[in-house]
Amino acid sequence: MNWLSVLFSLRRAIAVLLSTALLSLAFGQDKFVAIQPEQTAQYHINFARLFFASPEAEKAERAELEATLKDLESLKGKIEKSADNLQRAIQLNDRLQIQYQRHYSYLYLRNAVNTKDETSLAESSALEAEVTARTAFLRQELMRLADQPLATFVAQQPSLKKYLFAIESLRRYRPYTLSLKEEELLSATEPLNNDWQYELYKRLIAHMPLGAVRSADDPKAREERFKSGYARFASQRDLYAFALMRLAAAGNRMAQLRHYEDAASRAYFGRYWSKEEVNDLLDQLTRQADLYKRYQLLRADHVKKISGSEEAHLWDLSAQPAGLQLPRFTIDQASRIMRDALAPLGAEYGEELARLLDPANGRMDIVSGINRKSGGFSKGFIGFDSVFYSAGFAGSYNDVRVLTHESTHAIHRQLMNRNHVLPASASGPNYLFESFAIFNELLLPDYLGSHETDPIRKQYYLEQFLEGKGMIMFVAAPEAALEQAIYDGVAQGRIKGADEIDALTKGVYSRFSIWPDKHDELKNEWMRISLMYEDPFYYINYVYGGLLALKFYELYARDSKQFLPRYLALMRNGFDAPPGALLKRFLDIDLKDPRLVSDTCRILEGKLQRLDAIYSAR
């Protein structure tokens, strides 16, 4: 062993010792503060450094975006005439996308940190609609470009070769594209048809009466919180149904105007799936759902055992065994743990993660407060740094999990930036982005559990592996299946109001879970699925993403030295081919392999057997 290897081993040993000490601290703190008062100023996005000096400066710099748009529009009707025109149009569009994404991200984030700033949100939506409408001609002309002229142009301008997949990605949409005037009209009016439903949903949530707050250690309090939570949603069920049904009707109609069968087919086509393929995957998961039900029964039996109760209810699953204090992490502890847990991904990934987590860089907005957007997300694009936002980091395990997930999206963009990926190749199907983030979520509890000595805490982290994202494909499958069924039911006239959606929800969820037959409140779950209102048909990304993440985990566990370089190469690469081709090229994964679901279920089966053994020994 040379001296470099010795130094590396020593540094890793020190890191393990430090991490173990941090974990002990996290479980033992009495007066816990996740972010110290003197740190709070650093944990806000530095808008001036990362985006624009002020809102006024942002508006002034839209002149540059407008100039790029006009330059691009000057080529309208000329793109098919020469290789130079084609190259210039594509390069201008790259510049435009960087400018647009910077402005859009800024406006979206301004609203996120202050939801009272409705002007920024409205301007972001208007900007999106304007750019989409005014660039519709580019998509039209690229679609009309025949194979032979394109080949000639590439021979004349070899730099166009790197754009061939981006061009072909647009040409796929030929059967679903209208005339230029019609496309411009639809692009301008679509937000008016589809955006108001989520705005209504948010207002209904905001005006929902608060429930009583009682200790989670009290079984009666847990029951009351569970039932009152669903009751508060149910009190406005007709308005939630009204919004969802109108969203489904508008989505289906807008899709049909572009010659898709329905809104689901339109959403799936963009991710290189057909409705038949999605339904086949959901059917496969339905056939494997007994695995998830066994997990639910195992958790319920364990709760009965540790509580001495005759029956366990869904609300009892949050009860913790005696001797377990739920972990809490300061932001410094969480940052160190994340860096150590994800260290196997290599130095390049680690450097980018450290930059994101360093508060001096102003790329994290995580201090709680009033008028903040709920949840967590990252924003960024080629050409500028990605940032992370959450409603507030309070130090729970879930807070660290969310930070791990969303930081992966940010680092993924940074890796593409480092690799000089073209803007035209920087966006791809969401489920690939989600698969990377979910894989890292699996590494987090694995790391924490492997560095924990207390058996109760080890058990906790194994539960988090399964409860967090290990079982995500079974959690998201009924959400995806329900959403598609609602859209189908609205189109066929079978859904006329909340009663029909209630019945449909209970039927779909009963195929995947033991709980709907035990708790009638779960028929109202459709009102709590916020993405169904905000981003229709997004949940299917978690089904495919969770499936792939477990496959990544299997390959990583089998041979990390072979898997990790290929995996990182996939993240750096961007999207210069269909997603199935990328998975095959870099990781030899066939997304249509019928064994994929059964293979990943075996991983879960192994974790489930391990958890069963731990429970049995208690």
In this prediction, residue 214 has a pLDDT band, given cuts at 50, 70 and 90, of low
Q: Are residues 407 and 420 in the same domain?
A: yes
pLDDT at residue 19 greater than cutoff 60: no
513 assigned to some structural domain: no
Mean pLDDT of 222-238: 93
Q: Are residues 101 and 25 in the same domain?
A: no
pLDDT at residue 156 greater than cutoff 70: yes
pLDDT at residue 284 greater than cutoff 90: yes
In this prediction, residue 475 has a pLDDT band, given cuts at 50, 70 and 90, of very high
In this prediction, residue 173 has a pLDDT band, given cuts at 50, 70 and 90, of very high
Return the bridge partners of 365, or none.
Answer: 389
pLDDT at residue 28 greater than cutoff 60: no
Query: For position 155, which CATH number holds?
Result: 1.20.140.70
| Residue 347, amino acid | A
Q: Are residues 15 and 102 in the same domain?
A: no
Mean pLDDT of 183-207: 86
pLDDT of residue 305: 87
pLDDT of residue 185: 85
541 assigned to some structural domain: no
pLDDT at residue 18 greater than cutoff 90: no
Q: Are residues 108 and 187 in the same domain?
A: yes
Contact, 386 vs 356, CB < 8 A?
Answer: yes
DSSP 396: B
- Please give the tally of structural domains in the chain: 2
pLDDT at residue 164 greater than cutoff 60: yes
The token pair that represents 596 in the structure block = 């994929």
Q: Are residues 417 and 337 in the same domain?
A: yes
Q: What tens digit of pLDDT does each residue of 95-112 get?
A: 999 999 999 999 999 999
3-state helix, strand, coil split of the chain in percent (to 5) is 75, 5, 25
Parent domain of 356: 11-42+329-427
607 assigned to some structural domain: no
In this prediction, residue 212 has a pLDDT band, given cuts at 50, 70 and 90, of low
pLDDT of residue 215: 53
How far is the CA of 30 from the CAs of 60, 167, 367, 398, in angstroms? 50, 58, 21, 19
List Cβ neighbours of 253 (8 Å cut-off, separation of 6 or more). 193
The better pLDDT of the pair 468, 2 is held by 468
606 assigned to some structural domain: no
The better pLDDT of the pair 595, 27 is held by 595
Neighbours of 595 (CB within 10 A): 9
CA 287 to chain centre: 26
Q: What tens digit of pLDDT does each residue of 303-356 get?
A: 988 888 888 899 888 777 777 788 999 999 999 999 999 999 999 999 999 999
Give CA–CA dist 181/185, Å, rounded.
Answer: 6
Q: Are residues 89 and 74 in the same domain?
A: yes
pLDDT of residue 21: 43
580 assigned to some structural domain: no
401 assigned to some structural domain: yes
Q: Are residues 123 and 87 in the same domain?
A: yes
Return the bridge partners of 388, or none.
Answer: 364, 378
Mean pLDDT of 116-121: 94
pLDDT at residue 30 greater than cutoff 70: no
3-state secondary structure of 324: coil
Q: Are residues 104 and 181 in the same domain?
A: yes
**The tokens 């049995």 sit on which residue?**
616
89 assigned to some structural domain: yes
Contact, 400 vs 338, CB < 8 A?
Answer: yes
Please provide the average confidence, as pLDDT, over all residues in the chain.
91
Mean pLDDT of 79-96: 96
Q: What tens digit of pLDDT does each residue of 398-420 get?
A: 999 999 999 999 999 999 999 99
Of 427, 461, 481, the position where a domain reaches its end is 427
Mean pLDDT of 509-530: 96
Helices (H) and strands (E) in the chain, counts: 27, 3
pLDDT of residue 17: 38
| Whether pTM exceeds 0.85 | yes
In this prediction, residue 521 has a pLDDT band, given cuts at 50, 70 and 90, of very high
**The tokens 């991904």 sit on which residue?**
345
Of 393, 427, 461, the position where a domain reaches its end is 427
Q: Are residues 145 and 35 in the same domain?
A: no
List Cβ neighbours of 213 (8 Å cut-off, separation of 6 or more). none
pLDDT at residue 393 greater than cutoff 70: yes
pLDDT of residue 323: 72
pLDDT of residue 594: 85
75 assigned to some structural domain: yes
pLDDT at residue 76 greater than cutoff 60: yes
Q: Are residues 31 and 108 in the same domain?
A: no
Mean pLDDT of 541-557: 97
Q: Are residues 17 and 104 in the same domain?
A: no
Give CA–CA dist 381/390, Å, rounded.
Answer: 19
Q: Are residues 36 and 122 in the same domain?
A: no
3-state secondary structure of 288: coil
Of 164, 194, 224, the position where a domain reaches its end is 194
Contact, 122 vs 191, CB < 8 A?
Answer: no
Give CA–CA dist 299/317, Å, rounded.
Answer: 7
